[in-house]
A and B are shown apart, each in its own frame.
Chain A
Amino acid sequence: MAGKVIVLTSGKGGVGKTTSAAAIAAGLALRGHRTVVIDFDVGLRNLDLIMGCERRVVFDFINVINGDAKLNQALIKDKRNDNLYIFPTSQTRDKDALKRDGVERVLEELKDSFDYIVCDSPAGIEHGALTAMYFADSAIIVTNPEVSSVRDSDRIIGLLASKSRRAEFNMEPVGVHLLLARYSPERVRKGEMLTIEDVKEILSIPLLGVIPESESVLRASNTGTPVVFEEESPAGRAYHDAVARFLGEQRELRFLQPERRSFFRALFGRA
């Protein structure tokens, strides 16, 4: 079965695309699927840092597109899981280097050896983001419960419906899923933050998961360990749930209640 292309996109920057791409790719790999995660943010690469392989980058996506290197020279195998590979991008070029036919050729080649190809899109709606979403079979729209993010996500959903390859060739539309990140139950309780229902209703796309705001996310990027590898982290577990739902399983939403103080905190340690 040929690999499926999943794009993590949002429009708005800083909402958690790269963190989520890393976590979801790692989550899929932990479930036994051969997964590669690709950085489409040419010139502002971050995926290698979040995945912790920044010291092993030799060749990159642009090198392979231009034919200067072969795919297997650029792919970096993750040390924590044999199913997981990282495909970093160039830091010295910019998004003009992403030629659509080159990207298509590379993705087709990846489909032969991987079950899932996770594309970490840059922010915005320009060439980089449009190229990342063009070949997607599925799209995970990373959104924060905050006005600008929701508005930008709406725009991106519109673009997926009109500017993807599936749309242009009248194929079955790209499957879109909502991933609500940086959710704070406490702020929702106080009426300071949009609720899950608010965002679901406004964007009208199926909810894949809710990732709670968590200290473990900063720790994860500091150490270069995708947050799903941290057993205790609520964010990590929420990503595991999201992966499970993506694979068709039913999971109840968790971590939606404000933390109760003292007793539970003592039992479970830091969030």
Chain B
Amino acid sequence: MAAKTRLVTQPVRSGTQIYARGADLVVTAAVSPGAEIIADGNIHVYGALRGRALAGAGGDVDARIFCSRLEAELVSIAGRYLVSEQLPSEQQGFPVQIALVDERLTVTRN
């Protein structure tokens, strides 16, 4: 796990790219479609995740993504990804955590 945490308190707008190098990323606002949030560690979004979230960007397979509202365009952990269409529809719009289990991304209700 990463030692520090990067905190973002403003909405992450479309076209913005945030990279928390060597750290976790916490966002306490919404992430717009077309925005990209990346962390070597975990990602926590206390808001709607509508853009792309890439955790464990440096290869950490234990990294996770947490969000209050799943509406993501794409989620990825350590390079494995799922696009919006592939995310389980029953989880769309709910608080979830996403983890990598046996090379597969799993989405579980928080």
Task: Determine whether A and B are in direct contact in the complex, meaning some CB atoms lie less than 8 angstroms apart.
Answer: yes
Asked if A55 meets B84 with Cβ closer than 8 Å, knowing A92-B15, A92-B16, A92-B17, the reply is yes
The CA-CA distance from A54 to B73 in the complex, in Å, is 8
Q: How far is the CB of B34 from chain A (nearest CB, A)?
A: 4
Q: From residue A220, how far is it (CB to closest CB) to chain B in Å?
A: 19
* Interface size, chain B (Cβ < 8 Å): 14
Q: Which of A43, A44, A45, A55 contacts B83 (CB 8 A)?
A: A55
> Is there an interface contact between A91 and B85, defined as CB atoms closer than 8 Å?
no
Is B108 interfacial (CB 8 A cutoff)?
A: no
Chain B residue at minimum C-beta to C-beta distance from A43: B15
Residues 18-62 of B at the A interface (beta carbon under 8 Å): 33-36
Contacts of B16 in A (CB 8 A): 92
Residues A56 and B83 in contact, CB atoms below 8 Å apart? yes
Interfacial chain A residues near B84, Cβ < 8 Å: 55-56
**Chain B nearest CB, measured from A24 CB (Å):** 25
Within 8 A of B (CB), among A43-68: 43-45, 54-58
Chain A neighbourhood of B73, CB < 8 A: 54-55, 57
CA gap between A54 and B14 in the complex, in Å: 13
Q: Is residue B81 within 8 Å, beta carbon to beta carbon, of the partner chain?
A: yes
- Chain A to chain B: the 8 pairs with minimum beta-carbon distance, closest first: A55-B84, A91-B34, A92-B17, A55-B85, A91-B15, A92-B36, A92-B15, A56-B83
Residues of chain B whose beta carbon lies under 8 Å from any beta carbon of chain A: 14-17, 33-36, 73-74, 81, 83-85
